[in-house]
Amino acid sequence: MHEIINISLSQSANHLNTHFFNAQESYLDYVKGVSNSKVEPDIFLKPTTNLLSNTVSYNPRALLWDATGGFGALGKYEYFENADQQDIPKNVVKSQILPKIAKNEYQKALDSTEDSSQEADLNTCNTLYWSDYSRVIYEPKSYNCLQDWIYDPKKSTTKAILKSTYNNNDPQYVKFFENYEVGVEEFAKDNQGVDFLEDNFRNCLEKCDGLSGLNLIDEIDSSWGGFASEILLEIKDEFLPKTSIFTWNIYENRGNSELGTLALLSRIRSTISILKNSSIFIPINLRPNNLPQFLKDKVDLNSLWHTSSLQSIIFESFNLLQCRRTNRVFMTDIENGLTMGTNRNLVSDINLMISGINSDTSGMIDLTSSMFEEFDAKKNRVFSRSCISRSPHQLKDISFDHEKNLGKMENNKLLEYGTSSKGLVNYKTDIAFNTPSSFPQSIISKKDALCCSLTTSTKVRFTFKNMKKFVSKTLKNDDRESLIDELETYCQEYEWGYTEDDESDDDDY
């Protein structure tokens, strides 16, 4: 078996991960049996057989990190009453600051033995936490908590707050989990990062017969970026030096020029630190850059439940390729399709095309990271583009033509401007995107056809050149030169033919 483990760090990352595993659970065929499911569940879910009842239960191959309070109403061991106390992570403690959070009606219905039709409706008010709509049961070792930090969506929907400053009435004395160095320090504090890898991560690895790869979902514009970079470094050095690791990195919807000096330095450090240890680095915006007209009144951009659902369509589509029963694609195949054997492992564009039954329910959604600065699009050149098209019908009968709707004219243009045909990879599947009751029902239907694309282009070079200028003028400490060298190396990787740079770029260092 070619298992894949998901590691998610932060509340927004856990929202994305929750949508994904809810979709995985929805593929299970409870009537005809798992063997009749369209996907192979053992890739992302760990089966456990009960010999007495002759049943099989499935738990996610996942490890989740969050701040205190970030688990919402979820009792971390409520579904494992007989769990051995030695299996309870040392860094999970009960908060004496936050009041106990009550389960919503949706979770109460899932816990009951009533028919699923009795499940209560979800909305943006009762889905403040990812656990509010999670349909799967994680094993106790999946949960990991930053005990000195608190997540309270009423104070901040994205950033945790230092526990000792949580009740401070003066905002200027409230410390947020928002800097790269803080994340690095938190990883090393009380050896909690290494303990996590040696205990929970190793335990997860040992339950895999033949690991295919790893998905790591994180936040870049918070301290989770520094925390993730340390975890990734340890995994590459001590556990999986040659295994494919795809990092899905969530960015705030602010361009580099909109960030302050410290925030931009933190973004650059997190980006470079994670990028150099990733097989594929996928930067995705927290909120979409645009919404088609038919979704503008349906998507609440302030709801992580809503925004992560759009992210999950792309995340789930590319991971679906790796667990479908026929024509399975491995992580190394996707990696090679995008990099073509080079070191260009940074995706520059992420797009989702929804094709409904008519033009009123069709449109493009751009989730490309705001890290990439705007420049003359005519100068941009595409190295590679991988697309996956999904239809709820058999491929021979579908009206959604991938080549026509997202692509034939565009691909011909790319070929004309020099993109290699090897870099244009198209995947197709007749497995429709499932929309379980936990998914916002107004956003997409099972009848919609989808096309998701990941692109690498020279846009990276333009952005990193400006980052290099910023670092050379701002930093004066010991890591200045190494950071400049790393940025320059990536700039060279994304050169298109001969480029004549301004010599003035190097004058300051």
Instruction: For domain 345-461, give the fold.
Output: 60s Ribosomal Protein L30; Chain: A; (3.30.1330)
Residues forming a β-bridge with 384: 456
Residue 170 binned pLDDT confidence (cut-offs 50, 70, 90): confident
Distances (CA, A) of 389 to 117, 152, 161: 31, 38, 41
Task: Name which residue leads in pLDDT, 374 or 352.
Answer: 352
CB count within 10 Å of CB 68 equals 24
Structure tokens belonging to residue 299: 């998507």
- Cα–Cα nearest to 202, from 233, 239, 237: 239
Q: How many residues does the chain have?
A: 509
Given a contact cutoff of 8 angstroms between Cβ atoms, the answer to whether 269 and 179 are in contact is no
CATH among 3.40.640.10, 3.40.50.80, 1.10.3210.10, 3.40.50.1440 for 4-337: 3.40.50.1440
d(CA 260, CA 75): 39
Cross-sheet strand order for the sheet of 280-285: 161-162, 143-150, 62-68, 4-9, 213-219, 244-251, 280-285
Q: What is the pLDDT of residue 116?
A: 56
pLDDT in tens, 14-40: 999 999 999 999 999 888 888 888 899
The pLDDT of 458-483, averaged and rounded, is 94
The pLDDT of 475-491, averaged and rounded, is 93
d(CA 349, CA 369): 8
Residue 92 binned pLDDT confidence (cut-offs 50, 70, 90): very low
pLDDT in tens, 273-293: 999 999 999 999 999 999 999
Nearest-5° Cα angle at 303, 302 to 309:
125
Q: What is the pLDDT of residue 393?
A: 56
Q: What is the pLDDT of residue 82?
A: 57
d(CA 379, CA 370): 19
Q: Which of 27-36, 185-194, 243-252, 499-508 has the lowest mean pLDDT?
A: 499-508
Given a contact cutoff of 8 angstroms between Cβ atoms, the answer to whether 306 and 440 are in contact is yes
pTM of this structure: 0.93
Amino acid identity of residue 435, one-letter, is: T
Question: Could you say which DSSP state residue 396 is in?
Answer: T
Please state, rounded to an integer, the average pLDDT across all residues of the chain: 89
pLDDT > 70 in the chain, percent: 89
pLDDT in tens, 174-211: 999 999 999 999 999 999 999 999 999 999 999 999 99
Structure tokens belonging to residue 114: 């009533």
Question: Which residues, at least 6 apart from 364, have a Cβ–Cβ distance to it below 8 Å?
Answer: 290, 292, 351, 352, 353, 354
Distances (CA, A) of 397 to 326, 385, 392, 406, 496: 19, 25, 10, 18, 40
The pLDDT of 457-467, averaged and rounded, is 96
